[in-house]
Amino acid sequence: MTRSVYVTGIDRGDGRQVVELGVMELLTRQVDRVGVFRPLVHDGPDRLFDLLRARYRLTQDASSVYGMDYVEASALQAEKGTDELVSRIVDRFHQVAREYEVVLVLGTDFADTQLPDELALNARLANEFGASVLPVVGGKNQSAESVRAEARNAYRAYEALGCDLLALVVNRVAAEDREVIGERLEARLQVPCYVLPDEPALAAPTVAQITHALDGKVLLGDDAGLARDALDFVFGGAMLPNFLNALTPGCLVVTPGDRADLVVGALAAHNAGTPPIAGVLLTLNERPSQEILRLAERLAPGTPVISVAGNSFPTAAELFALEGKLNAATPRKAETALGLFERHVDSAELLKRVEVSGSGKVTPMMFEHKLIEQARSDKRRVVLPEGTEDRVLRAADVLLRRGVCDLTLLGDTEAIRKKAADLGIDLSGAQIIDPATSELRATFAESYAQMRAHKGMTVELANDVVVDVNYFGTLMVQTGLADGMVSGSVHSTAATIRPAFEIIKTKPDAKIVSSVFFMCLADKVLVYGDCAVNPDPNAEQLADIALQSAVTAEQFGVEPRIAMLSYSTGTSGKGADVDKVREATELARSQNPALKIEGPIQYDAAVEPSVAATKLPGSEVAGQASVLIFPDLNTGNNTYKAVQRSAGAIAVGPVLQGLRKPVNDLSRGALVQDIVNTVAITAIQAQTPAPSA
């Protein structure tokens, strides 16, 4: 079994950090403990390892990551030869390999290393590590023929040196050349070849990186503004009308600090969204007056205004030499990089070639990775009614960069675009609809009036109802303009799901709408139901919740072993509450005889094998339950929150079940990652065809 993957290159500038990040994403989907090793390192911070450690919650001691620094390696090789250098690095590698299920090796960077034949050194280290090699070839500013030749030469070089080649990645090629390069190489190589187009946003420095590089002073702006990518530079010297025509989306305006007209004009254009800019960089150490700065802050809150000492010409030279870097402070770039990798690399094929066996554990991170992967496999459209909410927009940014699903945002179009511009979020890949002005409003009003005519609804009244974003979003789902809806970050549960009850309604085989939470513990995922919707279900409803929860669990890769919870186990207890659970268990079993179900059963007997062996020996559920059905909302809601807070579990949900089409409710305290997970779940639910009436 391959225990390590060695990502390397043939020259600098190949952008292989995208590939290293993508491979790490693949490995952490499969195993819990992934180590990182970099044979040689430059003095100073290792930005990529810092990113990997933050993103994947690595506990690996930073001192164990590195073999030795380049200066020491060069001196050792000159004095004692390559064999001694390799021997010492191999010893360091094996110290890491002993502690982890798989190791990602980050090859040398071909940058000022003073090492002869660096390619051969990487090949030898990979062979000594027993690692499979994934070479990366850069294609920036090269012709298609030049890229193909370089890729073939890289393949032959590593093959000739005895390496086990997983695949070959060609990165940063011109978008128009990608397909022809891939086709030609596929016919010539014996391993898969993945070709990634150049992505300008990855090479673009953030405003924060520019500020640091130029030793600038932040006059205005917040963290979100400083995280924006500077996709272009526009140098201000012209009169205002001509200057405004030169602005481009995501540009950094560079102008002398005494040109208050250009500063105000650029920020006013940003405020209007025509176009949104990254920020303003003031040269000559000149600063506008306090009155102008106050006006600027009101025009574009959060947009950075930076002051530097140099004049425009040397500043321009420094700016054009800067290139964006993946690091822990640039999470958006990481999402962009992963989206690029996942769109152009056959992850299933590559993972199969790596031959990393799953550990059997399902950690919270693995579960989240699986949601993203499953949603991406068959993209659906999800409508987000709360289009002006910051957290929803940040989640949309992640979802779009990763290509998880197609998105529709609802709300005032100008307000959404302005908020997105202030947050530095590109919504060009999303659909934005204002229910108040949409041409769909009249059609939806007629449809809703017909649905609710028995309640006295008229078209005139419906015309006002459907402007409500939750009603409008639900009608989009009902009419097939969207596949699912997620709301609730600023709306109550009732406001989110009432339209679904009225419009989408329950499945033919479902008696009620219920919910589950996916409880991500340290090493497994449990399904809890119902913890959010039904206060006191009767036996028939409780059986329905169990059956629905089994289907939901299976849909998300959790084998359903259902425990119908009570305060007693087996036949030990009596009373109305226990009898309800016992009756519900029998009803569920009669409706699906193949279901693994046990009840009534106490929580400890359901999940702890030693307790189960005493209380219910021989049960195929006791001690290994994966789906836990609570007898009422009071018990379920308190239990999930207790486990979440006391055991440090991640609770994903509530996920609604029983509706004909998926609509899901968010907690009003939902974090950005919670929203991302819920949207992915909704997209996955939509992959199952809706039942016929």
- Residues 557-581: pLDDT tens digits? 889 999 999 988 877 767 788 989 9
Is the pLDDT reported for residue 540 higher than 90? yes
Residues 6+ apart with CB under 8 A from 476: 383, 408, 440, 482, 485
Q: Torsion over CA of 265, 267, 271 and 277, rounded to 10 degrees?
A: 110
Q: Which of 517, 511, 520, 552 has the alpha carbon at shortest distance from 532?
A: 517
Give the tens place of pLDDT for each residue, 197-214: 998 888 889 999 999 989
Domain borders along the chain are 4-199, 205-321, 375-503, 514-658
> Could you identify the residue written with the tokens 């990089």?
337
Average pLDDT of the segment spanning 506-516: 88
Tell me, what's the pLDDT at 360? 59
6 DSSP β-pair partners: 105, 133
Mean pLDDT in residue range 667-691: 87
Handedness of CA 183, 187, 188, 190 (dihedral sign): positive
DSSP symbol at 318 = H
Q: For residue range 368-390, list pLDDT tens digits in order.
A: 888 888 998 899 999 999 999 99
List pLDDT tens digits, range 268-277.
Answer: 888 887 788 9
Find out whether the peptide bond into 397 is cis, omega within 30 degrees of 0: no
4-199 with 375-503: one CATH topology?
A: yes
| pLDDT in the model for residue 691 | 60
Question: HEC string of 72-99?
Answer: HHHHHHHHHCHHHHHHHHHHHHHHHHCC
At residue 2 the predicted structure's pLDDT band, cuts being 50, 70 and 90, is very low
Region 457-486: what's the mean pLDDT? 93
The alpha helices in 161-216, defined as continuous H runs, are 178-188, 200-203, 207-213
* pLDDT level of residue 287 (50, 70, 90 thresholds): confident
Give how far the C-alpha of residue 85 lies from the chain's centroid of Cα atoms, to the nearest Å: 40
Which residue type sits at 118? E
Residue where the block lists tokens 């479902």: 510
* Rounded percentage of the chain residues whose pLDDT exceeds 70: 97
What is residue 478's predicted lDDT score, i.e. its pLDDT?
A: 94
Residue 499 has pLDDT above 80, yes or no: yes
- The pair phi, psi for residue 408, each rounded to 5°, is -120, 125
Cα–Cα dist 538/666, whole Å: 26
The span from the CA of 452 to the CA of 25, in Å, is 48
Residue 648: which of 552, 520, 545, 544 has the closest Cα?
520
pLDDT, position 690:
61
- Tell me the fold of 4-199: Rossmann fold (3.40.50)
Distance CA 297, CA 431 (A): 29
Q: What is the pLDDT of residues 393-424, one digit of tens each?
A: 999 999 999 999 999 999 999 899 888 888 88
| Confidence at residue 327, expressed as pLDDT on a 0 to 100 scale | 81
Given the DSSP bridges, would you call strands 514-520 and 650-657 parallel, antiparallel or unpaired?
Answer: antiparallel
Second-level CATH architecture of 205-321:
3-Layer(aba) Sandwich (3.40)
- Tell me phi and psi for residue 206, to 5 degrees: -80, 165
3-class secondary structure for 471-507?
A: HHHHHHHHCCCCCEEEECCCCCHHHHHHHHHHHCCEC
Look at 486 and 363; give whichever has higher pLDDT. 486
Buried b (16+ CB within 10 A) or exposed e, 259-285: bbebbbbbbbbbbeeeebbbbbbbbbe
pTM: 0.81
pLDDT digits (tens, 9 = 90+) for 420-462: 888 888 888 899 999 999 999 999 999 999 998 898 889 889 8
Residue 692 has pLDDT above 90, yes or no: no
Q: Mean pLDDT across the chain, nearest whole number? A: 88
Question: What span, in angstroms and rounded, lies between the C-alpha atoms of 466 and 447?
Answer: 10
Nearest-CA neighbor of 280 among 333, 210, 213, 329? Answer: 210
Would you state the pLDDT for residue 114? Answer: 66
CATH assignment of 514-658?
3.40.50.10750
**Cβ proximity of 495 and 650 under 8 Å:** no
The crossing angle, in degrees rounded to 10, of helices 290-299 and 260-272 is 10
Confidence of residue 239 (pLDDT cuts 50, 70, 90): confident
For the domain covering 375-503, report its CATH number: 3.40.50.10950
Q: What angle do CA 387, 245, 203 make, to 5 degrees?
A: 65
For residue 43, pLDDT beyond 70? yes
Residue 592 neighbours by CB under 8 Å, 6+ apart: 547, 550
Q: What is the pLDDT of residue 1?
A: 41
Residue 245 contacts by C-beta under 8 Å, 6 or more apart in sequence?
none
Model confidence pLDDT, tens digit, residues 314-363: 888 888 888 878 888 888 888 989 999 999 999 888 888 887 655 556 77
Could you tell me if 467 and 441 are in contact, meaning their C-beta atoms sit under 8 angstroms apart?
yes
Of how many residues is the chain composed? Answer: 693
> Percentage of the chain with pLDDT > 90?
40
Q: What is the pLDDT of residue 170?
A: 93
Name the 3-class secondary structure at 561.
strand
Cα–Cα distance, 356 to 132 (Å, whole number): 12
Tell me the two tokens of residue 490: 């600023």
Count of CB atoms within 10 A of residue 87's CB?
A: 12
Strands (E), 175-297: 193-197, 217-220, 232-235, 251-256, 279-283
**Which tens digits make up the pLDDT trace of 634-647?**
999 999 989 888 88
Looking at residue 453, the DSSP 8-state letter turns out to be G
Strand 525-529 relative to strand 514-520, pairing: antiparallel
State yes or no: pLDDT of 15 exceeds 50. Answer: yes
pLDDT at 111: 66
How confident is residue 113, by pLDDT bands cut at 50, 70 and 90?
A: low
Residue 184 has pLDDT above 90, yes or no: no
pLDDT digits (tens, 9 = 90+) for 574-630: 778 898 999 999 999 999 999 999 889 999 999 999 998 888 888 889 899 999 999
Please give the order of strands across the beta sheet that includes 525-529. 596-601, 561-565, 627-629, 525-529, 514-520, 650-657
Q: How far apart are CA 392 and CA 385, in angstroms?
A: 9
β-sheet with 431-433: strand ranges across: 431-433, 406-410, 381-384, 484-487, 663-665
